[in-house]
Amino acid sequence: MPVETLTVPFSRRAGASTPVGAPGTGLSSTNFSDNNLMKRISLFAVAAMACMQASAQEAPAKEQPKLTFSGYAEAYYAYDFNQPEGHQRPGFLYSHNRHNELNLNLALLKVNYSTDRVRGNVGLMAGTYAQYNLASEQELLRYVYEANVGVRIGKNLWVDAGIMPSHIGFESAIGKDCYTLTRSLMAENSPYYEAGAKISWAPNDKWSFAAMYLNGWQRIKRPDGNQTPAFGTQVTFKPNSKVTLNWSTFGGNDKPDSVRQMRYFSDLYGTFGITSKFSLIAGFDIGAEKKVKGQDGMNAWYAPILIARYAFTDKIAMAGRYEYYNDADGVIVSTGTPNGFRTSGYSLNLDISPVSQVMFRLEGKMYNSKDEIFTKGETARKENFSIATSLALSF
């Protein structure tokens, strides 16, 4: 703030007749001038300090830039009792999908940069997850887990763009963050990643909202002949530290415009910390895609899931899963059988973490289908049973 020059008047009172410095006043001209000067200096110093303090209070403290390096590696072994000769497990699985061989599902190195206004992530990966999930992408992009940059344009309002983890689902490629060793049917057959732009806003600690412009349904490279934009939304509500409710949507065409078939999808789930040891995840996906161009109606699919986890200690836990996937029209999983893909899944896994950075897992899983969609040798079967074990390290 501006500092005004302070002027002290030295006029005499009305009727006074003795001038300053006159004999008998006890003051000399010199003493008065010195006192006047000291007063001015003191007042100026106080005003300057007040201005500096006010400026310091008004200027927001800037967050120091942070550069963080992290990594994750997960090796696994899976045995499919249907014994596929090519070591490839059923085609609707994209993670932990190699039979009877020790393999690497995901190795990831990531760099994160963040300030109060800017953020960015770059993650490079390898493994069978990348090999099978990004098979349709350009070769160099198959090794990119994420690459995005964001800028804050308002209070808790961010714009991010690039290759990002999907806004759909409660599971990710990083296995240690999931309740189970292998991914669910709904996770394997919905996007793990997406490319586009996102605007997100968190008005408080309980609510967050986001909207996306996307290249497609798990697409970095858009399909040839496709000029149709895709969109997504996400709403998350956390009423307290033990409950999270999420609703995500997708809308777009994943085929060339000449055979355009609009797809609409909804993902709803909740995570619930019942006690300090027992927790649940419940989810329900439903989607619909327009039938062949020129025909009326929609083909639909849906998938419910329930996972329960119990932590005996901070080092030992178990989780059980029930899931069902109904895609009778073969929109996502095509079987060529009369009833399409109508499959139930059951799994039980044991987690052991000897130290916080390491997790050992063992899981048994059974699939049961309405039609004989599995094979053992030359025999068609309705069931598929497998066991898997993994060892993961994070830092």
Domain 69-394 has CATH 3.40.50.300: no
Which residues neighbour 143 within 8 Å (Cβ) at sequence distance 6 or greater?
A: 124, 125, 126, 130
Indicate the pTM of the whole model: 0.82
SS (H, E, C) 68-120: EEEEEEEEEEEEECCCCCCCECCCCCCCCCECCCEEEEEEEEEEEEECCCEEE
Q: Each residue of 326-365: pLDDT tens digit?
A: 999 999 999 999 999 999 999 999 999 999 999 999 999 9
pLDDT in tens, 192-226: 999 999 999 999 999 999 999 999 999 999 999 99
**Where exactly are the structural domains of the chain?**
1-59, 69-394
The stretch 230-247 carries a mean pLDDT of 98
Dihedrals φ, ψ of 188, to 5°? -65, -25
pLDDT of residue 42: 52
Q: Collapsing DSSP states into helix, strand and coil, what is residue 25?
A: coil
Cβ(192)–Cβ(205) under 8 Å?
Answer: no
Q: What is the mean pLDDT of the segment spanning 73-89?
A: 97
> For residue 143, how far is the Cα from the chain centroid?
19
CB atoms under 10 Å from CB of 127, counted, come to: 21
Confidence of residue 293 (pLDDT cuts 50, 70, 90): confident
Q: What is the DSSP letter of 142?
A: G
Q: Is residue 273 scored above 60 in pLDDT?
A: yes
| CA–CA–CA angle 217, 222, 225 (5° rounding) | 120
Of 305, 239, 240, 242, nearest in space to 268 by CA: 305
Top mean-pLDDT range of 55-59, 131-135, 290-294: 131-135
Query: 296 Cβ partners below 8 Å, 6+ apart?
Result: none
pLDDT per position as a tens digit, 360-387: 999 999 999 999 999 999 999 999 999 9
pLDDT value, residue 267: 98
